[in-house]
Amino acid sequence: MNSAEYPPEQELLDRLERVRLLLAHALRVRQLMTRGGSGVQAAWERFLHENVEPGFVSRPPELEQALGQIDAHVRGRVADRETRFTRLVRLLGLDALEVDLLLCALAPSVRRGFREALQLVGPEVMAGGVHPAAHLVEVVASSAETYARARAAVDDDGTLIASGALLAAPMAPGAPPLWRALTPSPALYRWLLGAQSPYPVLAEEPPLRRAVDEDVEVHIQATVREAHGQPVRVVLIGEAGAGRTRAAAALAHLLGCRAAWLPRVDRELAPAVLDARLRQRLVFLDTASGDELPQEATLALAQPELSCAVAALPGSAAAASLLAAGFTRVDLRMPSLRSQVRAWRHALGQGVPEDEIADVVRGHSLPFHSIEEAATQAKVESGVLGVELPQSSGENPAENPGENPGDQSPEHPGHVVRNARLLLQAAERAARAITSDRLSDIADRLSTTLTWDDLVLPEDVRTSVHEVWRAAAARRTVYESWGFESRTPYGRAISAIFTGPPGTGKTMVATLIARQLNIELFRVDLSRLVDKYIGETEKHLAMLFGEAERGRCVLLFDEADAIFGKRTKGGESATERYANLEVNYLLQRIETFSGIVLLTTNQESMIDEAFKRRLRYRVDFPFPDEDERVLIWQRLIPPEAPMAADFDPKALARRYELSGGHIKNAVLRAAFAAAADDAPISQLRLVRAANQELENIGKLVMH
Mean pLDDT of 273-297: 82
Kindly tell me if the per-residue pLDDT of 398 is higher than 60.
Answer: no
Mean pLDDT score of the chain: 81
pLDDT above 90 coverage of the chain, percent: 33
Note the pLDDT of residue 76: 92
Higher pLDDT, 359 or 15: 15
Note the pLDDT of residue 598: 94
Q: Which of 74-88, 219-233, 376-390, 582-596 has the lowest mean pLDDT?
A: 376-390
pLDDT above 70 coverage of the chain, percent: 82
Q: Which of 263-277, 450-464, 523-537, 639-653 has the lowest mean pLDDT?
A: 523-537
Confidence of residue 201 (pLDDT cuts 50, 70, 90): confident
Kindly tell me if the per-residue pLDDT of 205 is higher than 70.
Answer: no
Confidence of residue 67 (pLDDT cuts 50, 70, 90): very high
Note the pLDDT of residue 406: 43
Q: Are 489 and 333 in contact (CB under 8 A)?
A: no
Mean pLDDT of 495-510: 93
Kindly tell me if the per-residue pLDDT of 640 is higher than 60.
Answer: yes
What are the backbone dihedrals phi and psi of residue 496, each rounded to the nearest 5 degrees, phi first?
-150, 150
- For 655, residues 6+ apart whose C-beta sits below 8 A from its C-beta are 687, 690, 702
Mean pLDDT of 189-199: 92
- For 523, residues 6+ apart whose C-beta sits below 8 A from its C-beta are 443, 444, 445, 446, 507, 556, 557, 558
Q: What is the DSSP letter of 701?
A: P
Domains and CATH numbers, the chain: 8-192 (no CATH), 208-331 (3.40.50.300), 339-392+410-434 (no CATH), 446-620 (3.40.50.300), 626-696 (1.10.8.60)
Mean pLDDT of 75-84: 91
Counting Cα atoms < 13 Å in the Cβ hemisphere of 67 gives: 19
Mean pLDDT of 511-538: 82
What are the backbone dihedrals phi and psi of residue 184, each rounded to the nearest 5 degrees, phi first?
-70, 145
Note the pLDDT of residue 24: 87
Highest mean pLDDT among 347-356, 503-512, 537-546, 569-578: 503-512
Classify the C-alpha dihedral 675-681-685-686 as positive or negative: positive
Higher pLDDT, 353 or 473: 473
Note the pLDDT of residue 388: 52
Q: Is the pTM of this model over 0.85?
A: no
Q: What is the DSSP string of 639-656?
A: TTS-B-TT--HHHHHHH-
For residue 577, count other CB atoms closer than 10 A to its CB.
11
Kindly tell me if the per-residue pLDDT of 397 is higher than 60.
Answer: no
Q: Are 185 and 163 in contact (CB under 8 A)?
A: no
Q: At what angle do helices 8-35 and 61-78 cross, to 10 degrees?
A: 170
DSSP-derived pairing of the beta strands 282-286 and 166-168: unpaired
H/E run at residue 154: none
Q: What is the DSSP letter of 695?
A: H
Mean pLDDT of 363-391: 74
Q: Which of 63-77, 557-571, 586-600 has the lowest mean pLDDT?
A: 557-571
Confidence of residue 399 (pLDDT cuts 50, 70, 90): very low
What are the backbone dihedrals phi and psi of residue 619, each rounded to the nearest 5 degrees, phi first?
-125, 125
Kindly tell me if the per-residue pLDDT of 335 is higher than 90.
Answer: no
Confidence of residue 393 (pLDDT cuts 50, 70, 90): very low
Go through the chain and tell me how many residues it has. 703
Region of residue 530 (left: phi > 0; alpha: psi -120 to 50; beta: else):
beta
H/E run at residue 158: none
Note the pLDDT of residue 460: 95
Q: Which of 216-225, 252-261, 508-517, 557-566 has the lowest mean pLDDT?
A: 557-566
Measure Cα distances from 366 to 225, 242, 540, 632 in Å.
Answer: 29, 9, 19, 41
Mean pLDDT of 567-581: 56
Kindly tell me if the per-residue pLDDT of 534 is higher than 80.
Answer: no
DSSP-assigned beta bridge partners for residue 236: 311, 330
Higher pLDDT, 318 or 279: 279
- DSSP 3-state assignment of 554? strand
Higher pLDDT, 287 or 95: 95
- For 190, residues 6+ apart whose C-beta sits below 8 A from its C-beta are 196, 197, 198
Q: What is the DSSP letter of 533?
A: S
Note the pLDDT of residue 422: 84
Kindly tell me if the per-residue pLDDT of 686 is higher than 80.
Answer: yes
Measure Cα distances from 507 to 256, 366, 513 in Å.
Answer: 54, 27, 10
Kindly tell me if the per-residue pLDDT of 97 is higher than 90.
Answer: yes
- For 318, residues 6+ apart whose C-beta sits below 8 A from its C-beta are 287, 291, 292, 293, 310, 312
Which residue, among 578, 580, 558, has the nearest Cα to 569 in the 3D structure? 580
Region of residue 596 (left: phi > 0; alpha: psi -120 to 50; beta: else):
beta
Note the pLDDT of residue 37: 54
Confidence of residue 575 (pLDDT cuts 50, 70, 90): low
Kindly tell me if the per-residue pLDDT of 410 is higher than 50.
Answer: no
Kindly tell me if the per-residue pLDDT of 79 is higher than 80.
Answer: yes
- DSSP 3-state assignment of 575? helix
- At 361-371, the pLDDT tens digits run 877 878 877 88
